[in-house]
């Protein structure tokens, strides 16, 4: 595991030096602008608007980083052949993969936490006492992180066997499909055969369920998030990531590096 | 008997190609050879001959279609073997956001070296490859030759028993090449086993205990540089002085090149004795008899030409 940590820290260092965290400046500016404007246009619901805007921005920025850097984690190393010298060291390929995953998740965690801090600051500016909201917002941020980890795992899996462009398409496609799993599961139609309905139901269980991670509305309204949902989502993300990473490792371990 | 440092047995590599990957391209075919402990072994061959394929198979970057290989008695699929090898990839490229010192420190961490030891070794290696003043510069600002030096430093940083270098002289100026040669000789003196691929034959002739020539994915010859060129039919050069009438020597003199009273000619080794007798009988003064030493380059080109005449360098067959 030590070697996984070494790769992860280097991946984090790469993200920092490649100025990935510069997006925080953009986020900070957006939050400052929003908190100034929102007080003037939305009387009484300022904190709701700020929370919705802030969480959406955290999610979108995180998703862009997770997908675009996620697919490049392995493919860039193969294209540039930086991987060659490394894999001749006593490091297993799955350790390298897990390290790359860990490094990007660490980057996303730092990025997301920094953005969350900005969001709380904006909340404090708009409404001087935002305590009731903070717990739910914190959980919503945590769920975004779980979602991003899952997206990184999927991007990593695809980049182990296909081109970066296709990896982006597959990851984005799965993410979008994963937002509609409840509809897929409950879809009933007179015209649809039972076989097709059954297939849809199976697919809905196989696809990553990204719907469960969306508690933005509850957070914006200050509703408490049930502890069971937190435990369920944590276990779900951990298990799904483990399966996807195991599949990625199985593919990558057999791959010839030309 | 001591075990060879590198043992390769019937190693083959095929790559699928075509839209459905149904065709196979053979990059390496039934390679069997060994590199002895403490030996400097040069792997020679033209571009695309299978040198890099063999090296990548040995360090686990690609996997064989058939055959096995062992390094220091351990299978190439055994990850613990990697602790004892150092590898320089062909035209190396490293994380350009790191400085050379950071990169070497990063690689050293995989060998479980403590922080203080890493620091000492990194400084020593940078000095050894002539980069002590450039160690704090990001690799994106490095020239190709400088990257090659960093590559060499990371290959020997952990003091491996077996060092595998893919085209170590490529991209280097004459000074850099000389330095790499010195490092290889130092490694040899330290008892390390070195396998390096090259198409610069003079380097191989100068450095190697043995060389292997690979052409078209097949090994065509292995041996000491002197020995391997000796495989080709040798000729003898005879220098003699003759002032008499052509007489019975007409046939011989017509084959010789004349400079004043001196003649020199090449004869086949088997004909040497008869030629000398004939010259001596006619009163010629034999000045020098020497073996015409074929160079490694001539031998190499001879193999390449023979391969081109026989078959295409890479066999392509549908499946």
Per residue, the 3-state secondary structure of A185-205, as one string, reads HHCCCCCCCHHHHHHHHHHHH
Q: Is there a common fold for B6-230 and B235-292?
A: no
Residue A258 lies in a domain: no
Percentage with pLDDT > 70 across chain A: 94
Q: Could you please report the per-residue DSSP string of B143-157?
A: -HHHHHHHHHHHHHT
Q: A9 exposed, middle or buried (CB, 10 Å; 0-12, 13-18, 19+)?
A: middle
pTM of the predicted model, to two decimals? 0.83
Contacts of residue B86 in chain A, CB cutoff 8 Å?
Answer: 88
- Identify the bridge partners of residue A70 per DSSP, sorted by sequence position: none
Number of domains in chain A: 1
Q: A94-103, B93-102, B277-286: which has the minimum mean pLDDT?
A: B277-286
Predicted local confidence at residue B188, as pLDDT: 92
* Degrees, nearest 5: CA angle A52-A58-A60: 95
Give the one of B62, B87, B88 whose C-beta lies nearest to A257's C-beta: B62
Task: Provide the shortest C-alpha distance from residue A217 to chain B (in Å).
Answer: 41
Q: Using a CB–CB cutoff of 8 Å, tell me whether B89 touches chain A.
A: yes
The class of domain B6-230 in CATH terms is alpha beta
* Helix (H/G/I), strand (E/B), else coil: A222: coil
What number does CATH give the domain B235-292? 3.30.70.260
Percentage with pLDDT > 90 across chain B: 44
> What pLDDT digit, counting tens, does each position of B44-84 carry?
888 888 899 999 999 999 999 999 999 999 999 999 999 99
Tell whether the model's pLDDT for residue B166 goes beyond 90: yes
3-state percent breakdown (helix, strand, coil) of chain B, nearest 5: 40, 30, 35
Residue A122 lies in a domain: yes
Q: Which residue has the higher pLDDT, B101 or B145?
A: B101
Contacts of residue B83 in chain A, CB cutoff 8 Å?
Answer: 90
Is residue B85 very low, low, confident or very high in pLDDT (cuts 50, 70, 90)? Answer: very high
Task: Provide the shortest C-alpha distance from residue A76 to chain B (in Å).
Answer: 10
Torsion of CA A36, A41, A47, A48, to 10 degrees: -140
Residue A218 lies in a domain: yes
| φ and ψ of B257, to 5 deg | -100, 130
Residue A73 lies in a domain: yes
Q: Which structural domain range is residue A198 located in?
A: 2-253
| Pairs of residues, one from chain A and one from chain B, whose beta carbons lie less than 8 Å apart | 73
Residue A57 lies in a domain: yes
Q: What is the helix (H) or strand (E) element at residue B278, kind and residue range?
A: helix B272-281
Q: What CA–CA distance (Å, rounded) separates A123 from A42?
A: 14
* Helix (H/G/I), strand (E/B), else coil: A125: helix
Q: Are the C-beta atoms of residues B39 and B5 closer than 8 Å to each other?
A: yes
Domain coordinates in residue numbering, chain B? 6-230, 235-292
Provide ipTM, 2 decimals. 0.86
């Amino acid at each position: 595991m030590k070697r996984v940590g070494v790769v992860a820290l280097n991946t984090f260092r790469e993200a920092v030096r490649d100025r990935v965290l510069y997006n925080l400046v953009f986020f900070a500016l957006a939050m400052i602008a929003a908190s100034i404007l929102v007080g003037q246009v939305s009387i009484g619901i300022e904190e709701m608007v700020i929370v919705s805007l802030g969480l959406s921005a955290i999610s979108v920025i995180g998703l862009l980083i997770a997908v675009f850097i996620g697919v490049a984690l392995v493919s860039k190393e193969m294209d540039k052949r930086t991987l060659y010298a490394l894999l001749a060291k006593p490091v297993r390929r799955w350790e390298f993969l897990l390290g790359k995953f860990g490094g990007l998740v660490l980057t996303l965690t730092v990025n997301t936490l920094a953005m969350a801090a900005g969001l709380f600051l904006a909340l404090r500016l708009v409404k001087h006492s935002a305590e009731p909201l903070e717990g739910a917002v914190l959980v919503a941020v945590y769920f975004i992180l779980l979602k991003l980890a899952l997206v990184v795992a999927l991007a990593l899996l695809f980049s182990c066997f296909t081109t970066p462009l296709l990896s982006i398409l597959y990851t984005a496609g799965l993410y979008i499909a994963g937002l509609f799993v409840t509809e897929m599961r409950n879809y009933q139609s007179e015209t649809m055969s039972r076989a097709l309905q059954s297939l849809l139901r199976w697919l809905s269980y196989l696809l990553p369920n990204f719907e469960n991670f969306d508690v933005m509305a509850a957070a914006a309204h200050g509703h408490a998030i049930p502890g069971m949902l937190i435990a369920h989502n944590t276990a779900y993300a951990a298990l799904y990531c483990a399966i996807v990473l195991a599949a990625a490792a199985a593919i990558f371990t057999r791959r010839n590096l030309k | 008997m001591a075990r060879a440092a590198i043992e390769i047995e019937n190693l083959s590599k095929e790559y699928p190609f075509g839209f459905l990957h149904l065709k196979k391209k053979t990059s390496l075919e039934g390679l069997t050879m060994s590199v002895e402990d403490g030996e400097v072994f040069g792997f020679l061959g033209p571009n695309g001959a299978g040198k890099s394929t063999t090296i990548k198979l040995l360090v686990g970057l690609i996997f064989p279609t058939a055959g096995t290989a062992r390094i220091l008695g351990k299978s190439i699929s055994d990850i613990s073997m990697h602790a004892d090898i150092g590898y320089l990839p062909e035209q190396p490229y490293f994380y350009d956001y790191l400085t050379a010192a950071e990169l070497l420190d990063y690689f050293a961490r995989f060998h479980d070296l403590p922080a203080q030891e890493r620091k000492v070794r990194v400084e020593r290696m940078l000095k050894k490859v002539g980069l002590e003043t450039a160690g704090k510069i990001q690799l994106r600002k490095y020239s190709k030759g400088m990257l090659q030096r960093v590559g060499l430093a990371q290959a020997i940083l952990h003091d491996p028993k077996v060092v595998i270098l893919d085209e170590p002289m490529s991209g280097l100026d004459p000074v850099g090449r000389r330095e790499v040669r010195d490092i290889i000789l130092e490694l040899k003196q330290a008892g390390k086993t070195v396998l390096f691929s090259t198409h610069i034959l003079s380097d191989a002739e100068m450095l190697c205990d043995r060389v292997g020539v690979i052409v078209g994915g097949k090994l065509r010859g292995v041996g000491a540089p002197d020995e391997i060129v000796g495989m080709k039919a040798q000729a003898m050069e005879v220098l003699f002085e003759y002032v008499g009438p052509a007489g019975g020597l007409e046939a011989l003199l017509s084959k010789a090149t004349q400079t004043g009273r001196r003649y020199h000619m090449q004869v086949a080794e088997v004909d040497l004795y008869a030629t000398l007798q004939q010259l001596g009988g006619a009163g010629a003064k034999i000045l020098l008899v020497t073996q015409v030493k074929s160079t490694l380059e001539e031998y190499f080109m001879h193999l390449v030409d023979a391969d081109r005449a026989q078959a295409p360098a890479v066999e392509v067959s549908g499946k």
